[in-house]
Chains A and B, each alone.
Chain A
Amino acid sequence: MPGIWRGVSLFAIVCWASGGVRAEESIAEAFERLNVGAFVVTMPERLAQVRIFLDEEMLLPPERGVIVPAVNKAELEMPNVLANLTSNGTLDWFWVYNFTGRWYESFSPTRGAVGLSHLRAHRMFLASQFSVAFFFEDDAALSTRWHGTGGRGEFVITSRIMCHP
């Protein structure tokens, strides 16, 4: 039962592709029918929790939940890594070494790592057989209710499982 409920929330995301919904479907069945993959960009230390979330909360078959190992900012702080990434054209040299624009667009290892992580996620999607990808980061929480007061207390329990295990 809980799988279907969370499925309803996710239906809203994935079933737009088909233009219709079958309320009796579970999320696993919907993913199967629409050929959707869930790609979770996650840090290694949260991997176990994300796996449990995909398997036991979303009730997805393992092949439909894809873990995308996020690039750690520490990797970009290692010697030569940035040099390699700029020389092979993944990161822009001027952005990394010579950016003079607005501060919130400037390079930082974190921003670089986020970009590379999502790039990796999209490449993994393209290398897969899925037709549609649902990307989310490991701090995203599926919401099933209005949170107009902005209080964390109104997040559904799944958010705490995902984010604060």
Chain B
Amino acid sequence: MQDRASQRSRTLVRRESGALAQKYERDPPPRHGVRYNALNFAPAGWKMLWLGYCYEFPAVQEKYVKGGKGLVYLPSTSPKCLHGYTSTREASEKLVRDIVPINTAVDNKIAIRPRCHAAAMRASCVARARSSFAGAYLHTTHSGSRSLPFL
């Protein structure tokens, strides 16, 4: 029974992948779109980048770091949710040291760490990115915690 379900799901995945492939063969995506431009305007020295998040304190949202071509990068002090982020080795080492013992929801634990903004990591500890017209790069499908497009 399980095999059949698995087989069905694989078939579905392949069928949909094929449809997407055909779509992009017909209509290739632009190479110089917002995501391409994003790379040339990135803040240097980031340690963690939040690409999918649910909420950020409004006051923090206005702190503009660097941007161009419709992209804005913001220092982030309290990103909520963990459905998509990148981390360097240095940041992960620090994070593993700091979050144990876990004493609150882990995204809060990561986000609300005063030490995060101290010397070693500074503002680049956590950054997040958005595009004014492309939205956040990652979304979650949880109904209650979708990425907010204008954060």
Contact = CB atoms under 8 A, between A and B. Distances in A.
Contacts of A142: 137-138
A152 B140 CA distance: 11
Given A8-B33, A16-B39, A158-B20, A125 B105 contact: no
Contacts of B29: 5, 8, 144
A64 to B, nearest CB: 14
Give chain B's interface secondary structure class.
Answer: mixed
Interface of A: 1-2, 5, 8-9, 11-17, 19-21, 23, 48-49, 52-53, 56-57, 86, 89-95, 104-105, 111-112, 114-116, 118-119, 122-123, 125-126, 130-137, 139-148, 150, 152, 155-161, 163-165
Contacts of A52: 10, 13
A89 B42 CA distance: 38
Nearest to A49: B9
Give chain A's interface secondary structure class.
Answer: helix
Interface string B23-43: 011001101110110111011
A16 to B, nearest CB: 4
Contact of A150 (B32, B86, B146): B146
B35 A8 contact: yes
Contacts of A160: 16
B58 interface: no
Cβ-closest 8 pairs across A and B: A92-B103, A115-B106, A16-B42, A21-B39, A92-B101, A95-B103, A140-B83, A12-B35
Given A119-B102, A140-B84, A157-B16, 19 more contacts: A5-B24, A8-B36, A11-B39, A13-B137, A17-B46, A19-B44, A57-B13, A89-B101, A92-B102, A114-B105, A126-B96, A131-B89, A133-B89, A137-B82, A139-B140, A140-B139, A160-B16, A161-B16, A165-B12
A123 B96 contact: yes
Contacts of A158: 20
A12, A130, A155, A161 — most chain B CB neighbours (10 Å) = A12
